[in-house]
Structure 1
Amino acid sequence: MSQPFYVAPEQMMKDRADYARKGIARGRALVALRYTEGLVIVAENGSDTLRKVSEIYDRIAFAGVGKYNEFDQLRVAGVRAADLKGFQYSRDDVDARSLANSYAQMLGNIFTHEMKPMEVEILVAEVGLVEAGDQMFHLLYDGTVVDARDYAAIGGDAEAVRERLAETWTAGLDRSAAVRVGLNALSGPDRDIAAAELEVAELSRGNGRRCFSRIDATTLADILA
């Protein structure tokens, strides 16, 4: 009887992490940042039909980078979990923190026990009734959760994008200024990203019960003009 091939657990985890990071690095980045009336999410996305940014619940948005079919599975799971909790208890009991914890457990289990990890990074964002209640949670492929206060960047070249955000984001931005700051952080000094290559959405405290809305092409063109 032949002996099974042995791989040290540390090496196995390293190989899985490298595999996931390479897949994520091929994807285009996205940023989320606070402005005076809520949160805005700016994603580099040339597709008119495949969305990287979506609504999860009344005040909560989801954004993902990496393999589309994998982060869309997570989006659907989040919608179902939020709907179920809101139905069983109260709509006010559905929050980004509990969703982020659920996603962290799911991603951690897949990373540890499955042969192939998910090649995704996701962002769960919630706009509060007041500015102090805004929340953003960045989740990595292995279930690690990083909470962000003012801005977040995920996807390919995220470190460089985050550094540019740190240099340009300031408190008190209006929506138009926040979109331009996000675009400049994504594009950097070496290239330009056309409005047609962007997907932009917001969570606004002024939108009523359902705070999520997409910024259409006409409005985006006016903002960037």
Structure 2
Amino acid sequence: MAMQFYASPEQVQRDRSEYARKGIARGRSAVVLTYEGGILLVAENITTLRKISEIYDKIAFAAVGRYNEFESLRRAGVRMADMLGLSYDRRDVTGRALANAYTQTLGAIFSETQKPYEVELCVAQVGATPEADELYRVTYDGSVMDEPGFMAMGGQAEAISNVLRERHDTAADLQTALALAAEALGSVGGENGQTRTLTAKQLEVAVLDRRRQGRAFRRLTGTALTTLLGHESVPEAELGDVDAAPPAPGEAKPTISAASSDTEETPDEKS
């Protein structure tokens, strides 16, 4: 009779953790840090598949790892935030609640399924002051941590975190914060341990701007991003826009039916 394979629960958990960590480490990194004007999110990304997105008015999402897995989590977060905002009040939608929901989902997947998700997430919420900003790191096994102003995920995250730890300043302006994020991401991955200089085409950048009313998320691309990487300021009006702004109101919208008048009944013709 064939013997059944047995592995202790501890060994199974260790194997799942190692599998997930290796998958996350193979990807390109992302960093999130606070600055004077809000929260900056930067990911090394040469594709059109986005690692950084808006979740709600003051909340953004950044992730590394397997795209199809963190994209499904992002969509679930957007649906949850919309439902809470519609059912109660927009102020009731918080980054902490979303991070807790992601924690429960990833924890259940890690313990109940054979393959864990190879993802690491950041849920960021901008506050009225730098002290009120919130950064939550959610890992593949459902663990959640409240990060102190900056964090790095994916790739050689520890080495990148060391660069951020030495020079991060909550009072820095946007150009300084972006230069630090680009330098930290470029400090690893070069040939023979050399640093790299990352260009606008290699970066995906967005901000949660605390000075904006309503939706604080703005994506930085094109000329504005190139200018900021050159340590020059950009007017606030040119910083970019949300991914899907509401459509502009239509002009000269008709106020009467477009149906043919001979098919419509007039009051006199009604029986």
Give me the TM-score of the superposition, normalised by structure 2: 0.80
Number of residue pairs matched by the alignment:
224
Name the SS for the 2:76 alignment partner. Answer: helix
Dislocated runs of 4+, deviation >4 Å = none
CA distance in 1, matches of 2:33, 2:108: 29
Q: Structure 1 residue 170: deviation in Å?
A: 1.8
Q: Structure 1 residue 2: deviation in Å?
A: 5.1
CA distance in 2, matches of 1:80, 1:17: 29
- Larger strand fraction of residues: 1
Amino acid at match of 1:170: D
The unaligned stretches of length 5 or more in structure 1 are none
Q: Where in structure 2 are the equivalents of 1:58-97 lying within 5 Å? A: 58-97=57-96
Q: Where in structure 2 are the equivalents of 1:171-186 lying within 5 Å? A: 171-186=170-185
Name the SS for the 1:128 alignment partner. Answer: coil
| 1:191 paired to 2:207 | no
- Larger helix fraction of residues: 1
CA distance in 1, matches of 2:40, 2:54: 13
| 1:219 paired to 2:224 | yes
Amino acid at match of 1:14: R
Contact 2:200 2:221 in 1 (8 A): no
CA distance in 2, matches of 1:124, 1:96: 6
* CA deviation vs aligned residue, 1:133-167 (integer Å, no higher than 9, x gap): 21000111001111112111111111111011011
Name the SS for the 1:79 alignment partner. Answer: helix
Residue 252 (structure 2) aligns with: none
* CA deviation vs aligned residue, 1:38-72 (integer Å, no higher than 9, x gap): 0001110001x210000000000001100000000
Q: Structure 1 residue 196: deviation in Å?
A: 0.5
CA distance in 2, matches of 1:171, 1:124: 18
Name the SS for the 2:110 alignment partner. Answer: helix
| 1:23 paired to 2:23 | yes
In our comparison, the structure showing a higher alpha carbon Rg is: 2
Contact 2:130 2:170 in 1 (8 A): no
Please, which moves more after superposition, 10-19 or 215-224?
215-224
CA distance in 2, matches of 1:50, 1:147: 27
Name the SS for the 1:186 alignment partner. Answer: helix
Q: Structure 1 residue 3: deviation in Å?
A: 5.1
CA distance in 2, matches of 1:54, 1:82: 14
Give me the TM-score of the superposition, normalised by structure 1: 0.96
The unaligned stretches of length 5 or more in structure 2 are 188-193, 231-271
* CA deviation vs aligned residue, 1:70-94 (integer Å, no higher than 9, x gap): 0000000100110111111110000
Amino acid at match of 1:27: G
Name the SS for the 1:207 alignment partner. Answer: coil
Contact 2:136 2:144 in 1 (8 A): yes
Q: Where in structure 2 are the equivalents of 1:1-225 lying within 5 Å? A: 4-47=4-47, 49-188=48-187, 190-225=195-230
Name the SS for the 2:128 alignment partner. Answer: coil
CA distance in 2, matches of 1:96, 1:165: 23
CA-based RMSD of the aligned residues comes to 1.1
Contact 2:31 2:42 in 1 (8 A): yes
Q: Structure 1 residue 223: deviation in Å?
A: 1.0
* CA deviation vs aligned residue, 1:145-195 (integer Å, no higher than 9, x gap): 111121111111111110110111123100111111111111115222222
Q: Which has the higher contact order (CA 8 A, sep 6+)?
A: 1
